[in-house]
Amino acid sequence: MLSEDLIVRRRRVLRGLRQYYDLPFHPIRGEGCWLYDVEGRKVLDAYNNVPHVGHCHPHVVEAICRQVRELNTNTRYLFEPIVEYAEKLVATMPDGLDACIFTCTGSEANDLAWRLASNFSGNTGVITSENAYHGNTTFLDQIDGSSTKARRENPNWWIRVPAPPARQSGDAREDKVAAVAYAGQCASAVAELIGRGHPPAAFYFESLFCTDGIRVPRPGFMGEAISKVREVGGLIIVDEVQAGLARCGTDWWAFQNLGVEPDIVVMGKPMGNGLPVGVVVARHEIVDAFYARDRYFNTFAGNPVCCAAGIAVLEVIEREQLKLNALRIGTLLKRKIEGLMERHPNIGGVRGRGLLLGIELVIDQSTMTPASRQARWVINEMCRRGVLVGLTGPDRNARNILKVRPPLVFDEHAVDVFMTTLDAVLADLPSRLE
Amino acid sequence: MLSEDLIVRRRRVLRGLRQYYDLPFHPIRGEGCWLYDVEGRKVLDAYNNVPHVGHCHPHVVEAICRQVRELNTNTRYLFEPIVEYAEKLVATMPDGLDACIFTCTGSEANDLAWRLASNFSGNTGVITSENAYHGNTTFLDQIDGSSTKARRENPNWWIRVPAPPARQSGDAREDKVAAVAYAGQCASAVAELIGRGHPPAAFYFESLFCTDGIRVPRPGFMGEAISKVREVGGLIIVDEVQAGLARCGTDWWAFQNLGVEPDIVVMGKPMGNGLPVGVVVARHEIVDAFYARDRYFNTFAGNPVCCAAGIAVLEVIEREQLKLNALRIGTLLKRKIEGLMERHPNIGGVRGRGLLLGIELVIDQSTMTPASRQARWVINEMCRRGVLVGLTGPDRNARNILKVRPPLVFDEHAVDVFMTTLDAVLADLPSRLE
């Protein structure tokens, strides 16, 4: 009843702001990877990467409360937290990625990355992957491959290349063939953009291609494709908003798994455990060239409170060994899901790395036809039974991949709850869905 | 020494991120309209509108700490704070401005306003005032009139109109002539945009034209100009990022002083007292038309912690009668500055409303030649002597207006400190500046 009234009020003032599930989910408290709803239900959060080290983590809460009591101001003055935070972030990066510009969101960071790349390269074209989503600004909306809205026309300075294959054969020769084909597609895109008078300033991609249904290219797979872009002066912008910050379990950043050396790295969601924090990390030549000709000031970005939250998140990841946990628990979860495939022909496979997994739902394992309606039913039913999980690709017309991207404090008990619920929901999946 | 070391570290990792003053200002604690720096100095903040109800206001701090301990999540779920906050904001607005979309920054809100306006109008052109700055996204950078950077070319869908006159004669007939001239400039801009194939989707302006050096059009002054834009379907987007939220002392919003009825209102800086909060408030038809064809989701925007801060700010404004305080103290301050003009020929005048004042520095009062170098010297010297004040317009090449835009808790003692310091600094102003 409380929720019903709130829905009416919400619709009146927030209009078309959608809810994720068909039934309203009304949380009032969070702790670790658990949320408690208004009816007292305990719900497992297997979806949100924003509460990265766990909902309301006490160390982060304390850091925020300490700083908000002391000082919060803009970065035109001198203070310690932004410098400390930037240094700590750069320390997680490969050599050369040594300069930061803070923003408040991943969208702002991807938008700023474009200003950096076009300034540095002098070029005007963009390449993205087929179903890429990099944010909500006017510029990023123009290169939104995940949108199904009717457009008058796409800008002629934007071109898309297919994402790397979702499934790999495991055979080295076949993989090599796929990499060569992928590089060929990138080379064609570069040539096409040049033909249109817009050589690429940037090739944007998510390290694990989340909006393309989660794909994990083998190390080196992207190398040849990337060099096609670099040959004409284009920069490589890697979007780590979803996959980054120790989530993949082996490194701090997902791109490190791919053997990719980006020019610009973009981060957002998980950084402040819920406070708005985004950042662009780039080679300092790129940042210096930008500041030499242009300016960027963002009033809230890099403020002491958001930076205190960001530093605390990094500390928790270290102290609680959450990178290792992501690897250990993610591997366990993946194996258990694979184990379920025998009993549930609707599971076509599971892919991903660490605590970023995609469970592919299909009509059956032989045809591998995407089961999009079934996937929508499954996430709603899982929410109803107390587990939050998301939905993604493989493309904007077929969203049949369950996206599992929980807080990094996911543990064995959470895995058990997740598996029991998934098993039961799939068992109840209606054979026909309207 | 502490500061020196920090400056070196800051430059290494944050590169060209500029500081506001020539000498570093290194605050470590804030309270009310006071900041305490690393050397223990107590510094008056007469500049920042972000700590709107005072630095580290205990009521806002408590609201943030309470919510951050309980729950912070995205708006795809149901929760109370965003609905309550949106309702409270809409309640401050004139009838008809009844729908909200939250963002994290004023830049994001101005950028989103463009997506709303172009969708609703079907038009593609933009009008701004001459030296307008509305934010830092790729789109907003294209319509940045305040920038001095070299551009290849301005977009042909953007046109600028002069800001309303900085000084008014006080004579009704002359004022009428000025308003007609202003409307004529807008009509020409509209015609020019139509001629280029880009009828205006939007006319953006700041209610008090801060980046044009602070201008206070009389009620009704803008009416005829606005109707020229509306005649061809363009929307009126009012940017309240600097002037809004009770600062002007008479109403909640500065546009209410101008007799203007915007279609879209954009807010940012002061909303969360330092946490990143922005919002677009618009007529619901505009928002509904947008959601019918497009989508906008912003992970952090409208989160419970930022909304709790926003609600607390509104509560403090009410409880402490800060609107009235802005009027009372702003009027006092303005009168005292006017009183200083006799002794200091470098003060050409003071304008503004409530606690948003511009002090025009000139070579002398007879010629009224802008004293930009002197103004830069004055703000640096005032900072050195313990008062923060900013600098603005009247245009991008002449920044001779001291911008006084303090937290709304500015009081008589603060006025005394401000006046004593300004008086002394002006007395010491070197007759020749290199």
A14 vs B82, B105, B295: nearest CB: B82
Write the CA distances from B27 to A93, A310, B92, B274, integer angstroms. Answer: 30, 20, 34, 15
Share of chain A above pLDDT 90, in %: 93
**Per-position DSSP letters for A211-260, written without gaps between them:** GGT---PPTTTTHHHHHHHHTTT-EEEEE-TTTTTTTTSSSSSGGGGTT-
Query: Are residues A9 and B83, on separate chains, in Cβ contact within 8 Å?
Result: yes
For an interface test with B, give the residue of A42, A77, A383 to mutate (most B CBs within 10 A). Answer: A77
C-beta of residue A419 within 8 angstroms of C-beta of residue A154: no
How many CB atoms lie under 10 A from the CB of residue B318?
Answer: 12
Cβ <8 Å between B71 and A3: no
pTM exceeds cut of 0.90: yes
Q: Tokens 């002629």 appear where?
A: A156
Residues of A in contact with B301 (CB under 8 A): 105, 276
B-chain CB neighbours of A288 within 8 Å are 15-16
End-to-end CA, chain B: 28
Taking an 8 Å cut-off on Cβ atoms, the answer to whether A27 and B77 are in contact is yes
Chain B residue with CA closest to A30: the answer is B71
Q: Alpha-carbon distance A131 to A144, whole Å?
A: 7
d(CA B219, CA B254): 11
Residue pLDDT, tens place only, A97-150: 999 999 999 999 999 999 999 999 999 999 999 999 999 999 999 999 998 887
Distance from CA of A171 to the nearest CA of B (A): 39
Q: What is the dihedral of CA A174, A180, A186, A188, to 10 degrees?
A: -120
- Judged by a CB distance cut-off of 8 A, whether residue A276 touches chain B is yes
Residue A150's pLDDT is 75
Neighbours of A150 (CB within 10 A): 7
**Interface with chain B: mutation pick from A65, A71, A149, highest number of B CBs within 10 Å:** A71
The length of chain A, given as a count of residues: 434
Measured between CA atoms, how close is A74 to chain B, in angstroms?
A: 8
Cα→Cα distances B24→A39, A79, B10, B38, Å: 53, 10, 12, 11
| Alpha helices (H) in A246-321, listed in sequence order | 284-293, 304-319
pLDDT at residue A236 tops 70 = yes
Please give the Cα distance from A252 to A243 (Å, whole number): 10
Residue among A415, A352, A357 nearest A387 (CA) = A415
Q: Which residue of B has its CA nearest to A388?
A: B77
A37 at the B interface (CB within 8 A)?
no
Residue A31's alpha-carbon distances to A52, A321, A419, in angstroms, are 12, 18, 20
- CATH class of the domain at B58-319: alpha beta
Kindly report, residue by residue over B334-365, the tens digit of the pLDDT. Answer: 999 999 999 999 999 999 999 999 999 999 99
Chain A interface disruption, residue of B7, B13, B239, B396, most A CBs within 10 A: B13
Domain boundaries, chain B: 2-53+321-427, 58-319
Mutation pick from B73, B84, B110, B144 vs chain A, by most beta carbons of A within 10 Å, is B73
- For residues B324 and B275, give the distance between their C-alpha atoms in angstroms, rounded to a whole number: 24
**Is residue B184 helix, strand or coil?**
helix
Closest-CA residue of A relative to B388 is A77
**Residue A210 phi, psi dihedral angles, 5° rounding:** -60, -45
Which residues have C-beta within 8 Å of that of residue A172, sequence separation ≥ 6? none
A296 with B136: Cβ contact below 8 A: yes
Helix or strand or coil: residue B395? strand
Q: How many CB pairs under 8 A join A and B?
A: 293
Reported as half-sphere exposure (CB side, CA atoms, 13 A), residue A143 has a value of 25
Each residue's pLDDT expressed in tens, for chain B with a length of 434 residues: 578 999 999 999 999 999 999 999 999 999 999 999 999 999 999 999 999 999 999 999 999 999 999 999 999 999 999 999 999 999 999 999 999 999 999 999 999 999 999 999 999 999 999 999 999 999 999 999 998 887 768 999 999 999 999 887 778 898 899 999 999 999 999 999 999 999 999 999 999 999 999 999 999 999 999 999 999 999 999 999 999 999 999 999 999 999 999 999 999 999 999 999 999 999 999 999 999 999 999 999 999 999 999 999 999 999 999 999 999 999 999 999 999 999 999 999 999 999 999 999 999 999 999 999 999 999 999 999 999 999 998 888 899 999 999 999 999 999 999 999 999 999 999 988 86
Helix axis angle for A106-121 and B106-121, nearest 10°, is: 90
Predicted confidence (pLDDT) per residue in B224-277, tens digit: 999 999 999 999 999 999 999 999 999 999 999 999 999 999 999 999 999 999
CA distance to B32, B171, B212, B221, per residue, from B174 (Å): 42, 5, 21, 12
Interchain pair B70, A10: CB under 8 A: no
Q: CA–CA separation, A234 vs B332, rounded Å?
A: 57
pLDDT grade, residue A434 (50/70/90)?
low
Q: Is the pLDDT score of A1 beyond 80? A: no
Dihedral in degrees, nearest 10, Cα atoms B304, B86, B278, A88: 0
277-336 in chain A: CB under 8 A from chain B: 284, 287-288, 290-303, 305-306
Query: Which own/partner pairs from A179-183 qualify as long-range (CB within 8 Å, at least 24 positions apart)?
Result: A179/A220, A179/A221, A179/A222, A179/A223, A179/A224, A179/A225, A180/A224, A182/A221, A182/A222, A182/A224, A182/A225, A183/A224, A183/A225, A183/A227, A183/A228
Determine the Cα–Cα distance for residues B216 and A414; give it in Å rounded to an integer.
60
pLDDT of residue B396: 82
Chain A: residue whose CA lies nearest to B90: A13
Whether B28 and A111 lie within 8 Å, measured CB to CB: no
How far apart (Å, rounded) are the C-alpha atoms in residues A63 and A424?
41
Q: Is A128 on the interface with B (CB under 8 A)?
A: no
Top pLDDT among A5 and A395 is at: A5
Query: Beta B34-37 vs B42-45: how paired, if at all?
Result: antiparallel
What does DSSP assign to residue B71? Answer: -
Closest CB from A20, A61, A305 relative to B76: A20
Helix (H) or strand (E) holding A205: strand A200-206
Q: Tell me the average pLDDT of chain A.
A: 96
Q: What is the mean pLDDT of residues A311-320?
A: 98
Q: How many CA atoms lie within 13 A of A72 on its CB side?
A: 35
Q: What is the CATH number of domain A2-53+321-427?
A: 3.90.1150.10
How far is A136 from chain B, CA to nearest CA, in Å?
A: 6
